[in-house]
Chain A
Amino acid sequence: MKRLLVVLLVLTLAFAVMGTPAAAQKKGEPVRIGMYLPMTGGVAAYGQMEHAGVLVANKMQPTVLGRPIELFLVDTKSDKIEAANAVDRLIKKEKVKAIIGEAISGNTLAGGPIADKSKVPMVSPTATNPLVTQNREYVFRVCFIDPFQGEMAAKYAFDVLGARKAAMMIDIGQDYCVGLGNFFAKSFIKQGGKIVAMTYCQTGDQDFTAQLSTIMAAKPDVLYLPNYYTEVALTCKQANELGLKVPVFTADGAQAPELLSIGGKDVEGVILTAHFAKEAAVTELSRQYVANYEKETGKEASGFDALGADAYFLILDAMTRAKSTDGPKVREALANTKNFNGVSGIINVGPDGNAVKSLVLLHVKDGKFQYLATVNP
């Protein structure tokens, strides 16, 4: 009896496995979507988070136009040359209809022209450099851009915090930090504020007391740190030791659990601009996604994976509206995305390829990131 049960079970399983491709073929050829992401190398963490987000999204919505979706992942090793190779490979060898990637701007800049040339739409989850979509017909993104983030941070500091004098410390070893810092400074001055102290550090620095002394002497109303979480956490620790009592403002690069674990009590009250917050999940899709993501991975959903999922959902939405997987038609649909209810909020995409969407403000309270406000463009 037992043996019979086992045999039956195996047989049903076998049929179930065989059944899927047969059923899929009836519905039509799979739609191939490529991903080129940094799964290894310097920024592997971003690529892996985004990949996880896309996979969860794919489980939630595995078909488009009645056809199953087949995902292809190509690793870029966090490198430009490999990123260009990867896009050519996805288009020429795997014949994908749309591409998700890359996680960082420099690599998306390398992949973009190839997508343009082959007329394959590309959606980047997190490339925030404004040049990425400039003059690129087929390149889109679901994140906001650095000038927007810098401008909104400057506005918030000026209007809500009432700051007139800002001090800054920029990590000059990171392109993201230098870029964002510049955009913030430009906007803050335009608002009528003044940058009273501009100091610099390098990734991996441990001691910021010299810069903080300069900042203290300048008596700022706010300290803006457009840096990654490690440097931000250490800066906050030393600022507290020195007795610098001004609000610390940082950005999406600091939205990591490590900020809390390294910074501890000293990062309490830190304000940051971010792409996504679980608490600010405004759409039905984001609520479903957050639940699914936690069920699948056992981890909390964060900005990177949410934006990875958004890139996937946006492509599917465009294909559905275009009623086709044809490159130019999907591109048309993407360029006319109006009020798309994505995971990270309501997304509008214009012909310039940039997402117009709201930004969330978080602050650290009781050792956790907590939702503060949503800022609309």
Chain B
Amino acid sequence: MDEHHRRNQIFSIIAVACLFLFLLSMHLYADDYQIRILNNIALFIILAVSYNLINGVTGQFSLEPNAFVAIGAYTSALLTLTPAEKQMAFIIEPIIWPLSVIHVPFFLSLIAAGVVTAFFGFLMGFPVFRVRGDYLAIVTLGFGEVVRVVANNTQTITNGPLGLKGLANYTNLWWSWGIAAFTVFYIARLVRSSYGMAMKAVKYDEAAAESIGINAFKHKMLAFTTSAFFEGIGGGLLAHLITTISPTLFTFFLTFNLLIMIVAGGLGSITGSVIAAVVITWGGEALRVVEEPIRLGFIEIPGIPGMRMVLFSLILVLVMIFARQGLMGTREFTWNGLFRKIRAWTHRTAKES
């Protein structure tokens, strides 16, 4: 235990309180559009941080989050829809029996989403971790596709291509940010535990890790299942944020977005994932300005849709040139680090003056 433990704890509590006050003020004064963006940010923090656990921390390049998010979203949505709503939406084939009558509160449905997704992740881990590297990426990519096609064609469970709609808009600032905070806290603790150390060892050299007695397969599975659990919960939140889901939501592009976030933030850095999730989600909306027509007195430049994607790509290219490892590399934010920086800075300015 380091000497600043107590101070750091106090600062952490203050930071959480500040976040709470910020959310409270947004809850009271912000309009729906701003609140939606904040919810999106929290959601992507959950998804990116948990995806980073398997891709960044454990170093297993996999491409399955769209599958996990889909499983979580469907699980949670099917549990919170009322039997009457389900009956009305399933117009091609009726929904199968146990699902047609089950109706549980939102929180329970989220837990169920996490558990069911973790279970699928656990099952999937056995075959996929028989391969490594690029092959792992391909196999997990295939799994994502399989889940989407299954969702499209299991008419009696997912309502197939029609999708589910009319979900209650349960996801508010408190749920999304509460769970985001918990996810960050939990995964940060996990990474700092001996399990996390072992995961990092597997990332840097699997053979060396095995030689000192680390069971690589077990730790990969642990990271994968934990990641699946949080992706599933994220899926449940997503479903109740946009209030409708269908297989088209869970294409590879969802995975791709998350991949951009964790690579731009730094593979293996939780802080980096959080920063990238905030910047990319918020930036995507803020940059809409460049797609709007610009009126300069007499001249009117028509807006070009897709401009913000061009700008985004440019920014990504710059990040990759000037910060190969992403914004944060594998570094993390700590209070000690912050105070060291401040002290160094005050020393320097004191010397200069």
Contact = CB atoms under 8 A, between A and B. Distances in A.
B241 to A, nearest CB: 8
A172 B152 contact: yes
Given A85-B40, A110-B243, A175-B161, A80 B249 contact: yes
B247 A175 contact: yes
B246 interface: yes
Contact of B163 (A14, A74, A106, A172): A106
A17 B244 contact: no
Contacts of A211: none
B92 interface: yes
B303 interface: yes
Contact of A179 (B160, B166, B303, B309): B160
A106 B249 contact: yes
Interface in A49-86: 73-75, 77, 79-82, 84-85
A48 to B, nearest CB: 8
B88 interface: yes
Given A39-B306, A85-B285, A172-B149, A80 B244 contact: yes
A73 B304 CA distance: 10
Query: Which of A41, A81, A113 has most chain B Cβ within 10 Å?
Result: A81
Given A106-B248, A130-B91, A84 B163 contact: no
A234 B246 CA distance: 28
A177 B165 CA distance: 19
A166 B286 CA distance: 52
Contacts of A291: none
Interface residues of B, number: 43
B33 A178 contact: no
Contacts of B155: 182
Contacts of A89: 33, 285, 288
B163 A92 contact: no
Interface string B223-266: 00000000000000010011111111101010000000000000
A91 B31 CA distance: 10
A73 B307 CA distance: 13
B251 A175 contact: no
A255 interface: no
B346 interface: no
Nearest to B36: A88
Contacts of B253: 41-42, 79
Contacts of A92: 31-34
B126 interface: no
Contacts of B91: 130-131, 147
B161 A174 contact: yes
B97 interface: no
Contact of A80 (B31, B160, B248, B291): B248
Contacts of A105: 163, 246
Chain B interface SS verdict (over half): helix
A147 B162 CA distance: 12
B183 to A, nearest CB: 19
Contacts of A91: 32-33
Interface string A191-226: 000000000001000000000000000000000000
B37 interface: yes
> Per DSSP, are chain A's interface residues mostly helix, strand or loop, or mixed?
helix
Interface residues of A, number: 49
B316 to A, nearest CB: 16
Contacts of B284: 82
A85 B36 contact: yes
A40 B166 CA distance: 27
Contacts of B178: none
Contact of A85 (B37, B160, B243, B247): B37
A75 B149 CA distance: 27
A104 B165 CA distance: 15
B89 interface: yes
Given A80-B249, A89-B285, A174-B161, A135 B243 contact: no
A109 B248 contact: no
Contact of A182 (B160, B242, B245, B246): B160
Interface in B38-94: 40, 88-89, 91-92
A81 B242 contact: yes
B298 interface: yes
Contacts of B142: none
Given A73-B303, A80-B244, A173-B152, A93 B33 contact: yes
Contacts of B241: 84
Nearest to B300: A17
Interface in A106-156: 106, 109-110, 112-114, 117-118, 129-131, 134-135, 147
- Ordered nearest first, which 5 A-B pairs have the shortest CB separation? A175-B161, A39-B305, A92-B33, A109-B244, A88-B33
Given A81-B238, A131-B91, 13 more contacts: A81-B242, A85-B33, A85-B285, A88-B32, A88-B33, A106-B249, A112-B244, A117-B32, A129-B161, A174-B152, A175-B160, A175-B163, A175-B248
25 contacts: A40-B305, A74-B288, A81-B40, A81-B238, A81-B249, A85-B40, A88-B33, A91-B33, A92-B33, A104-B248, A106-B163, A106-B244, A109-B165, A113-B244, A130-B91, A130-B162, A131-B163, A134-B165, A147-B91, A172-B152, A173-B149, A174-B152, A175-B162, A175-B248, A178-B161
Interface of A: 14, 17, 39-42, 73-75, 77, 79-82, 84-85, 88-89, 91-93, 104-106, 109-110, 112-114, 117-118, 129-131, 134-135, 147, 172-179, 182-183, 186, 202
